[in-house]
């Protein structure tokens, strides 16, 4: 028998991975700002100083004026989910802690994390230090109250609560509602002074209000630049800069970031370029919170189908506008800032205005299992958008943190169907 020799098989070299697009300076500044916020909170904790956890749309001006570091579990849960690190905390909350699957996944993730803060087997990035107090406003979600009550009991720490009343069919909140919320803010300031054992510096408080308004105005101006066709930004970019208004709305560092971002967007307009990675054939309004674990897939498919989500209502929730020094104005602004504090006709007609202003061809709605009230707006208000904006609307199922809910196949199918209708409408209009 002749000897069989091994013949080496020639293989084609694997294609080199595409180099990642370098982060623009503004994004680098965001990352530095976020890292600094967490570092300051950890340093305060190590020095025995108080650290707070807060709901996202809370009167941040007070603790900013006091110089007390505050972190935001919703923002933190989004960051952890985007890095695909949230499942162990959600599983711990549902398993050992016994929380049901039908409550908010931000809540499950955060309460699961809070239960294992000192357990090195659980990796959170970014990790938050153990809080000494909680700040709670119910303007964006009534489930927040039970979530923070559970945290308060488990960690044995106080809650400072600002009760914001829901507006059913009022375009403007009634006078007594504004006075009520103002009294809640004043009560919060008084109780915080007792907790910290020092008085609020009202001059500093006013300066923080002024800075917050500068930052809100700058962000609005940046968002408005995306009205241009084609848009100078991928609409998903707005998710990346939203954290500045959550974590640091009253800080000068946010002003510098937004100035830099605005300059970058204006340069795109000047050069007729965009951060959207594909050809913008269709413009849609994205409704609802991002699917943070699936954000990359969402953007990939939008690019494939030449769809830019040029605008979404979620990023405007932190547009808390009032005249500095006007506590009634502040009370009204915090009461009506969120999607979930207004009636369905009011909020969906705001979407109609946005769709018209940004020249959207369709609306893509994230039916978020965690945000049931927001999802209710979508189902009930869909007809308002279709009738008044005269565009097609498509829904897809998902979640902001729970990876078990989202279906890649369903998302692509719904997007494909929406594109077909938008294409027919565009061709019919010619």
Q: What is the pLDDT of residues 116-155, one digit of tens each?
A: 999 999 999 999 999 999 999 999 888 999 999 999 999 9
Q: What is the pLDDT of residues 214-234, one digit of tens each?
A: 999 999 999 999 999 999 999
Among 230, 184, 148, which Cα is nearest to 328's?
A: 184
At 48 the pLDDT is 97
Q: What is the pLDDT of residues 342-355, one digit of tens each?
A: 888 888 898 999 99
Helices (H), 132-285: 143-155, 175-196, 202-224, 237-247, 252-271
Element (H, E) at 71: strand 70-71
Q: Name the pTM for this structure.
A: 0.92
What value does the mean pLDDT of the chain take? 92
Cα separation, 148 vs 223, in Å, equals 32
pLDDT > 70 fraction of the chain, expressed in percent and rounded: 94
At 16 the pLDDT is 55
At 346 the pLDDT is 86
Q: What is the pLDDT of residues 293-304, one digit of tens each?
A: 999 999 999 999
pLDDT score of 6 more than 70: no
DSSP string, 87-139: HHHHHHHHTTS---TTS-HHHHHHHHHHHTTT-TTS--SSPPPPPSEEEEE-S
Among 73, 67, 69, 61, which Cα is nearest to 39's?
A: 69
At 168 the pLDDT is 77
At 19 the pLDDT is 60
Among 117, 108, 113, 118, which Cα is nearest to 146's?
A: 108
Cα separation, 400 vs 127, in Å, equals 19
Dig out the tokens for 68 from the structure.
Answer: 């007390």
pLDDT > 90 fraction of the chain, expressed in percent and rounded: 82
**Band (5; pLDDT cuts 50, 70, 90):** very low
Helix %, strand %, coil % of the chain (to 5): 55, 10, 35
pLDDT score of 18 more than 80: no
Give backbone dihedrals phi and psi of 398, rounded to 5 degrees, phi first: -175, -165
SS3 call for 23:
coil
H helix count then E strand count, the chain: 15, 8
Which burial class, exposed, middle or buried, applies to 57 when counting CB atoms under 10 A from its CB (0-12, 13-18, 19+)? Answer: buried
| CB neighbourhood size of 10 (10 A) | 5
Q: What is the pLDDT of residues 353-388, one digit of tens each?
A: 999 999 999 999 999 999 887 788 888 888 999 999
At 15 the pLDDT is 52
Dig out the tokens for 141 from the structure.
Answer: 């979600």
């Amino acid at each position: 028998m002749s000897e069989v020799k091994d013949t080496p098989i020639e293989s084609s070299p694997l294609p080199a991975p595409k180099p990642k697009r370098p982060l623009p300076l503004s994004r680098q500044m965001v990352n530095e700002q976020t890292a600094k916020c967490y570092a300051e909170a950890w340093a305060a904790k190590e020095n025995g100083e108080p650290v707070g956890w807060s709901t996202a749309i809370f009167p941040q001006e007070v603790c900013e004026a006091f110089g007390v570091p505050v972190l935001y579990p919703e923002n933190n849960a989004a960051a952890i989910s985007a890095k695909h690190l949230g499942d162990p905390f959600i599983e711990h909350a549902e398993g050992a802690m016994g929380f049901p699957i039908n409550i908010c996944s931000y809540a499950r993730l955060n309460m699961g994390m809070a239960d294992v803060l000192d357990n090195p087997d659980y990796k959170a990035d970014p990790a938050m230090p153990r809080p000494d107090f909680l700040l709670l406003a119910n303007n964006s979600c009534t489930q927040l109250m039970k979530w923070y009550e559970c945290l308060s009991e488990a960690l044995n720490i106080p809650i400072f609560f600002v009760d914001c009343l829901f507006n059913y069919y009022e375009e403007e909140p009634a006078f007594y509602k504004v006075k009520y919320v103002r009294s809640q803010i004043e009560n919060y300031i008084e109780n915080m002074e007792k907790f910290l054992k020092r008085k609020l510096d009202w001059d500093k408080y006013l300066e923080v209000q002024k800075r917050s308004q500068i930052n809100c105005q700058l962000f609005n101006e940046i968002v408005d630049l995306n009205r241009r066709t084609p848009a100078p930004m991928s609409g998903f970019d707005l998710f990346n800069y939203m954290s500045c208004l959550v974590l640091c709305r009253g800080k000068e560092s946010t002003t510098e970031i937004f100035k830099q971002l605005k300059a970058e967007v204006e340069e795109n307009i000047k050069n007729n370029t965009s951060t959207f990675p594909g050809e913008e054939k269709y413009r849609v309004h994205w409704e609802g919170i991002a699917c943070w674990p699936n954000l990359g897939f969402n953007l990939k498919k939008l690019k494939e189908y030449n769809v830019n989500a040029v605008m979404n209502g979620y990023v405007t929730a932190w547009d808390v506008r009032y005249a500095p020094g006007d506590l009634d104005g502040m009370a009204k602004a915090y009461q009506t800032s969120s999607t979930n504090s207004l009636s369905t006709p009011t909020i969906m007609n705001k979407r109609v205005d946005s769709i018209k202003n940004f020249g959207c061809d369709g609306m893509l709605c994230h039916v978020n299992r965690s945000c049931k009230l927001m999802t209710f707006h979508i189902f009930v208000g869909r007809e308002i958008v279709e009738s008044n904006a005269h565009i097609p609307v498509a829904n897809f199922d998902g979640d902001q943190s729970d990876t078990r809910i989202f279906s890649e196949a369903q998302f692509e199918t719904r997007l494909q169907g929406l594109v077909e209708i938008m294409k027919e409408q565009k061709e019919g209009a010619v």
